[in-house]
A and B are shown apart, each in its own frame.
Chain A
């Protein structure tokens, strides 16, 4: 089953410490790749760089910023393919972001 690990962290801190944390994250992603479970994933630019779009009654509304204002923001994600939730949760528990913030494990909608 495919799961996405959504990495929520204090956005300001994550961006400030990008340099030192990048090596840790790369090592973790490499471990997933070696295990043959990594499907993909990306690191996101700071939440302030987001633009949120909503269309109502034919009109497009833009908001400068992320969908929800919060200290902890989505900072990146991994997509993994593992046998079941237990395996996904085990990988999530190893994730550096689970220490700095929260990791949400969400199954991907596929047949």
Chain B
């Protein structure tokens, strides 16, 4: 049944246009921004609109009228008649069933829509390669409409468009949960080969940056409610946690516990061959030293010269086998007295030493790996061992910021090199065609303020610009979208906006978003997102269920 809720009003000052129309409705009718409505139009067609703004007006011409109507400010007054008032609603045109884009006519009846019509209006029907992105809820009470929303996976993970940027304040936005929801849906589709092309394979590399967030994603969430289960059913997904998960913990010792995971849990996972400890070995990893300098301004290029000096094995650096000797060699360079002509000054060596010294005291930097104890080199492991449908969780939560950048940069480099076929001798068909990399706190690596020379920033920009064709897809999250480098944001096909704050929405990044939606962004509930994707005709307000994997209450 069609429920008529109002009529279109076109006035001299607010005419209906190709893009929008206004309609009035009863003041007690509850509608929300993002609700879809339809208006009858010429040639028996229907124009769909999405609500952008709702205003309440009365016939009072000024606040003074209202004040005087209360007997010049008598707050206790109850009048026999309420002032005449109604709500008027601004709706953005989504489309017309007959493709007629004439402005909707004054007096046209406006009514609520059913689930099928919502899909038609928003372009959600007939989506190819569907991939659940959440569900949307519309209207209130008996009129409520709930329906799943699907991405066209070609526009999320390539080849048409790729990368997603998720922003929102910590905790309230549930950024990690949303990314994990999408990744879970992708893994489910690929594991069961639903809507997946033959020979199309995928693997995932996730970075755990907070507590124990992602350290038990293959264990079920015991607190999952029936409501959540029903939603997963509606979205055509199973209720299982992630499959084929491998955890990579930074190597620790008793002085330097490098992870928040409980030692027993780690041991248990290692015993089951689900976990590994990663290390960095001088001989193979000295190339990555530049990653330690990603946040250091090196305008004169001296640090770069030193790194080059080391990588090319000049001086004694070519003969060194471990980090300890490496440090001694650095020390010796720092002590060299003037008189000897060198290209690099002692002060530069000293600066270099200051940066690397702290990092190299970490047990991550070791002499060698013992494969039997599940010790590995991350780069090697990813390049050689990653299989289709694998989920590799790299724990970097407890490392300090520079080390996090180091590990992250190193992994990205490994993935990039693998996809370019520069490392290892794996046959191409064995390498997953797509690798999704998920990282939270992207602002640490791809900040607007990062030095231009930062190797990590260069890598990330490279991935967002060229990753789509290589099959490297970035799922990135950060608190404040405005802090991220423009090239990185600009190359993401999909954007998800979670709860944020008023200062953030005043930034130019949000200029194109209607003011009501901006306001909504500051009030979004946990598990609610406003998403933008090339195949949707408008921004959508979607929700998603609680995660399927174990949630640690104490982080």
Answer yes or no: are A and B bound together in one complex: no
